Every structure is written in C-alpha cells, then in structure tokens.
Amino acid sequence: METLSYVHGASDAALIGQTIGQYFDAACERHAAREALVVRHQNVRLTYAELRSRVDALACGLMRLGLKPGARIGIWSQNNMEWALTQFATAKAGLVLVNINPAYRRSELEYALNKVGCSALIMSPAFKTSDYIAILGELAPELATSQPGALQAKRLQALRWVIRLGSERTPGMLNFDDLMAPAAPGELQALEALGEGLQFDEAVNIQFTSGTTGAPKGATLSHHNILNNGHFVGSAIALAAGDRLCIPVPLYHCFGMVMGNLGCLTHGATMVYPGEAFDPLATLETLAAERCTACYGVPTMFIAMLDHPRFEEFDLASLRTGIMAGSPCPVEVMRRVIAKMHMSQVTIAYGMTETSPVSFQSGTNDPLDRRVSTVGRVQPHCEVKIVDFAGRVVPRGTPGELCTRGYSVMLGYWDDPDKTREAVDAAGWMHTGDLATIDAEGYCNIVGRIKDMVIRGGENIYPREIEEFLYGHPAVQDVQVVGVPDSKYGEELCALIILRAGARLTAAEVQDYCRAQIAHYKVPRYIKFVESFPMTVTGKIQKFQIREQLKRELGLTDARTA
C-alpha cells in the first residue's frame, strides 16, 4: 500500500494553555532583568520588568477610555516601541488588535476600519510619503470639531477614539502619551481581574488578507493560535534566553508580531528593531552593534544586505540562526547567508496568516539542499494532508492542495461565515490554495498556487483586487493582472489593459492613478495595452498563457531555487 501524503507534528513539547497576557506576566517575572526590547531608531532599551510596567500602564489607559473586552482597536503605524506596547497591552486588556498595513491608503483604510468595526485607532502621524493624519481627515472631517472619544463620522461609524503618536496635538485626537500615565493600584487590580477572566481561545488579533473577489478578509486569530506558533517557530531556530533577534520585517505582519515578538517573549530573547521599515544599512549596523544572534527577513532583505557596498565593514560573527520566509529562496542566497553572515542555522518557513502563520519549517541541522529545495517538515501539533481536487489524500510525492489542521488554524474570517466555510471545511482543515508535495521523509515542497496570488518581496497580492481597482478608470474596458518573475522581489505585477474605444492612456498615467489610491507594492511595474486576452473555448481567460507570453516578451526567467 502506498504511503499517503499525511503528516502530523507529534511532539513531547506541550501546547501553552494561557492567554498572551498571562504568559507575558510570567515571562516578565522570569526574565525581569534581561533586556526585552531594543528600538534603535528611538533610542529605546527596556528590560522585561520595564516592558511590563509600560504595557500595564497602556492597558490601564485603554481601559480608562471605556474600551471593553472584545472591542476592536486598529494600529496603523510603522515599526516602533508603541507598536510593541500596543500588541501586549491590547492582549492584556482583552481587546482585539487590528493590524493596518502602513502602506494602506484611503480606500483600504476605510474598508478595514468599517469591516471589523474598530472603535479606536492608534496611528502614526505619517510614514514615508503617506500623511496619515491627512488621509484620516479626508475620511473623517468631523474629527476637526470633535472631542476625543466623541467622534461621529459618517464614513467611519464605529470609530470613536483616535490616538496619535508624537508630541504634536491634533484636533479630535488623544496623544499616545496621554494613555501612559502610571497605573493606580486599583487600576492594576482591575486589569489583573480582567485578565483572569479571559480565555485563550478568544480573539486577540485580526489581520487582513486579500481575496480573489478583491475584498480583503479579516483573518481572526486567538491567543492560543499566535502564542503557540511564536513559541514553536522560536524553538525551531533554537532561540533561547539571552538571544538577540533582529526584526527588520514589518510588525503588522505575522512575521514581525508573531514569529518575532511572540517568539522572543516565549524564549526570553530580546526583540531588536533596526528601523521604522527595512533599510539594509540600518539593519547591518544593528546586527553588528547589538551583537544579534538571529535575524529574520524575506530573501530580498538578505540580498540587499549582502550586496550593500559597506557589507564587509560589519562584524556579524555573533549571528547564528534566523528565518528566511515570504517567497522562494534562491540557493545562492542561502549559501551566502550561511557563509558571509555566519547564520549556519538559518531556516526556511512556510505558512499563511490564516494559520498563525507557520505550518512547515526546516530544521537548523537540515542539509543545505533540503533547506532550499523544500520548506521543511510539519510544525509540532499541526496536521497536514495533500489532497486532489476530489478531496482525497494523494500518495507521497504527488502534487495536490495543501490542507492543514490544528491549534494554528484561525477562528475564521471576521463577519464572513461564507468565506470561512470556503476556507475551513467541516473537519477543521484549512484549505491553503497552494499546490505542494510531501516526500518520503516528510519534507514539503510548494510547487505552485491554485489561485493566482502573486508574492512580491514577501507581500501577498491577489490580482483580482488590482483588476477591480483598475476597472474604475474610465478609459479601461478590461484588464488582467498577472505575476511575472523578478530577480529582486521574486515576482512583479504586470497589467494587461484593453482600452475603451477612442480612449487614450499611457503606462505612466495608469501607475499614477494606482499610486494615489492603493499601496505601493500593488502598483503594477509593467503595463501593456492589448486588443484581447487568450481564452479557452468556454471563454475562460488563460492567465498561465499570458504569463508565459510576457516572460518571453520581457525576457524574464523564473528565479532558480535549487
């Protein structure tokens, strides 16, 4: 009888049966004097004891606003100390943290806040070229004449509180520091009592993932989901108390807040933020100055560091381990990371937001060819099966859809039971939409995607969302968006556009139209104007033919991964 493509992560290591807040308090006591958080660009250094004091102050500050357990509170900010404090404080106060991508513009922000009914928003005043205060002011002009906590905005009906970072004052908003007054003894007692009543299966985080229909879905994650995933991901890279993990990946994503922050918390390691967003020089400087022992990143980040003209100036001998994830890793990059960055134990991880995120990860001792040609073996306490289109488990080595089940599977998509049922079946299996194989030794290889998702530098992009946006341009009759190979980002977007009769449009005008409304990474790099699309006899557009044709026309080849 053939061995079937089913694996489970049998483990002697028990799952954590606590909320994040309960675990956080105990960890801060265990590691009180150890450095917990270093934020280089803000000149911040906090021990675990100091981190707890600030988190408790913020949690009590949020409770003072009248925010009750279960309320959704958005955070729209780059990487900084305030992001970390908010992550842990909302968990302790029983609130649901809603991650807003720093690249979001007006339409995306409006959708996210309304979809989950955010009653509060913590926001940076600006980031890069985005003026967040101006964007929010366009959505909620009522802020200018509102008292903090009394917002009644026509387009953001649930939003009451806006808390801004920085020292300047903005009408209708509180400042973050207003919430950081030392907590009174009675408030701390109330916070502790509230924490004792929280359950680890309750929602603690919502992260938006785009769908093929174009409407982002709010993947709802529990304390149990993300606390345990952070713990086991950290264990897989042999993270230990005293390790120092450089986190240049964004905190709004699972890579930063789960694999990074919660991975450090559960192992007594130090969270080190090199900057507001990834910068190769700042990351290299941080790795050397802070004597980091581990580093996370997508392949493009490691490439940018390795290729930086000042790379050789930095002593990276303290590095040992880390994770490369988000898109396929070329074998040459992995070899250079091990040889030049001293990361002999670097691993590859695979997952998705809906599974908290990691379900497969290579081991620190796996042979190099296994670490670059596969995504490793199944994580502890997770089950995975590979099924055909009829839902039957296929033999080892046979491609099929990867499905996963276990503690890591999300609670569901917020307020979207139909989409939840499409993703998670009656037996609890999360259908990933990825095509994969599992070999005789249990190693998994991702061989394709059932749907047309594009992964650009670790960002998941669904072409349908971009297509629907471009359909809003008056000159566009029809449009198809596909991913094409790119040596830097893994994939880039190309939009093929059929213009309306008599209409005129240039590629630059299309890109400018996109930049004003959607995140920068969703703006197509290539624009082609065509008369028609390749279709089947039944009228279905053949995107794979479009992609192959574009590869030939643009002279592009897929990145070699083995």
Q: Quick one: average pLDDT of 100-107?
A: 92
Check pLDDT > 50 for residue 35: yes
User: Which comes out higher in pLDDT, residue 160 or 550?
Assistant: 160
- pLDDT, position 212: 38
N-to-C CA span, the chain: 31
- CB contact at 8 A, 78 and 276: yes
Per-residue pLDDT of 292-312, as tens digits, reads 999 999 888 998 999 899 999
What average pLDDT does the structure give for the chain? 93
Domain limit, last residue, from 148, 169, 199: 199
The 10s digit of each residue's pLDDT in 411-429 is 999 999 999 999 999 999 9
Q: Give the least confident one: 378-387, 404-413, 428-437.
A: 428-437
pLDDT of 314 strictly over 60: yes
- Percent of the chain exceeding pLDDT 90 equals 79
Q: Are 402 and 386 in contact (CB under 8 A)?
A: yes
Rounded to an integer, the average pLDDT of 146-164 is 98
Asked if 297 contacts 247 with a C-beta cutoff of 8 angstroms, the reply is no
Please state the rounded mean pLDDT for residues 124-136: 96
Give the range among 281-290, 444-453, 461-470, 536-545 with minimum mean pLDDT: 536-545
CB 89 within 8 A of CB 130: no
* Residue 186: partners with Cβ closer than 8 Å, 6 or more residues away: none
Question: According to the model, what pLDDT value does residue 233 have?
Answer: 98
Asked if 334 and 372 touch (Cβ cutoff 8 Å), the reply is yes
561 pLDDT more than 60? no
Using a pLDDT cut of 70, give the percent of the chain over it: 96
pTM of the model: 0.85
Stretch 364-379: mean pLDDT: 90
Final residue of a domain: which of 183, 199, 215?
199
Is residue 171 in some structural domain? yes
Q: Give pLDDT, residue 216.
A: 87
Q: Is residue 299 part of a domain?
A: no
CATH code of the domain containing 104: 3.40.50.980
Residue 447 domain-assigned?
A: no
Domain membership of residue 171 as a residue range: 18-199
Lowest mean per-residue pLDDT among 376-385, 425-434, 477-486, 518-527: 477-486
Angle formed by the axes of helices 20-30 and 185-197, nearest 10°: 120
| CATH code of residue 503 | 3.30.300.30
406 located within any domain: no
- Three-state secondary structure along 366-389? CCHHHHHHCCCEECCCEEEEEECC
pLDDT at position 535: 65
Is residue 238 included in any domain, yes or no?
no
| Per-residue b or e along 106-143, where b marks 16 or more CB atoms closer than 10 Å to that residue's CB | bebbbebbebbbbbbbbbbbebeebebbebbbebbebb
How confident is the model at residue 303, as a pLDDT? Answer: 86
The answer to whether the peptide bond before residue 274 is cis (omega within 30 degrees of 0) is no
When computed from its CA atoms, the radius of gyration of the chain, rounded to whole angstroms, is 23
The yes-or-no verdict on residue 538 having pLDDT over 50 is no
Mean pLDDT value across residues 520-532: 93
In a domain, 400, yes or no: no
Q: What is the C-alpha to C-alpha distance for residues 477 and 479, in angstroms, rounded to an integer?
A: 7
Give the pLDDT of residue 214. 56
pLDDT category of residue 289 using cuts at 50, 70 and 90? very high
In our burial notation (b when 16+ CB lie closer than 10 A, e otherwise), range 32-58 reads eebbbbbbbbeebebbbebbbebbbbb
pLDDT band, residue 210 (cuts 50/70/90) = low
Condensed to tens digits (0 to 9), the pLDDT of residues 456-477 reads 888 878 777 888 789 889 999 8
pLDDT confidence of residue 451:
66
Residue 540 backbone dihedrals phi, psi, to 5 degrees:
-85, 130
Q: What is the pLDDT of residue 211?
A: 46
Residue 116: partners with Cβ closer than 8 Å, 6 or more residues away = 72, 96, 98, 206, 218, 414, 415
In a domain, 442, yes or no: no
Strand order in the sheet with 120-123: 174-175, 161-164, 120-123, 72-76, 96-100, 203-209, 217-222, 412-413
Half-sphere exposure in the Cβ direction for 248 (13 Å, CA): 28
Backbone region of residue 401 per phi and psi (left: phi > 0; alpha: psi in -120 to 50; beta: other values): beta
Domain end among 142, 165, 199:
199
Q: Does any domain span residue 501? A: yes
Task: Give the count of beta carbons closer than 10 Å to the beta carbon of residue 468.
Answer: 15
How far apart are the C-alpha atoms of 510 and 174, rounded to whole Å?
A: 38
The count of structural domains within the chain is 2
Q: Hey, what are 203's tokens?
A: 């929602």
| Matching residue, tokens 């917020």 | 414
Q: How confident is the model at residue 448 (pLDDT cuts 50, 70, 90)?
A: low
